[in-house]
């Protein structure tokens, strides 16, 4: 197994990153990515770039001889992190997402007005509605 794949595997294991995430992010077939990461298939320079970029680094980072990274228990690591990549949004999906964000912003306003209304009319049993 190459130094690159050893370091990528160590990084993914430490950060709890799944192969499916990298496959979706890079566009590489999941089976091909698995063969690359197990050392059964030689990784090309272009594939190294794709994988490294998907992990937020450049190839040089994963080619270090004495590969060092922050452990989960040290440094600037912030809690448990789960990465998810659902693909690129279509224009229709972007519009829906924008509407959902706007709805979320307005929910608090709607709920606070409802409570103020019941308080104004003196209805203390409004929880039943």
**How would DSSP label each residue in 92-113?**
HHHHHHHHHHHHHHHHHHHHHH
pTM: 0.55
Domain count, the chain: 2
* Residue 29 domain-assigned (yes or no): yes
Q: What is the pLDDT along the chain (129 residues), one digit of tens a residue?
A: 788 999 999 899 888 899 989 998 999 999 999 999 999 999 999 999 999 999 988 888 888 887 776 554 444 444 555 555 556 778 888 898 888 888 887 886 777 777 777 778 877 666 544
- Counting Cβ atoms within 10 Å, is residue 108 exposed (0-12), middle (13-18) or buried (19+)? exposed
Residue 109 belongs to domain spanning: 89-121
Based on the fold, state whether residues 16 and 55 are members of the same structural domain: yes
Torsion, CA 39, CA 70, CA 27, CA 97, rounded to 10 = 160
In a domain, 11, yes or no: yes
Residue 78: the pLDDT is 47
């Amino acid at each position: 197994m190459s130094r690159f794949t050893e370091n990528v595997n160590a990084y993914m294991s430490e950060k709890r990153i799944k192969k499916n995430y990298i496959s979706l992010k890079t566009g590489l077939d999941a089976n091909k990515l698995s063969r690359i990461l197990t050392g059964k298939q030689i990784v090309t320079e272009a594939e190294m770039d794709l994988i490294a970029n998907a992990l937020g680094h450049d190839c040089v980072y994963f080619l270090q001889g004495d590969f060092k990274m922050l452990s989960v228990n040290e440094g600037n690591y912030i809690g448990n992190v789960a990465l998810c990549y659902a693909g690129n949004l279509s224009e229709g999906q972007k519009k829906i997402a924008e509407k959902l964000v706007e709805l979320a912003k307005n929910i608090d306003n709607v709920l606070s007005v409802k409570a103020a209304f019941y308080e104004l009319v003196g209805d203390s049993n409004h929880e039943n509605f």
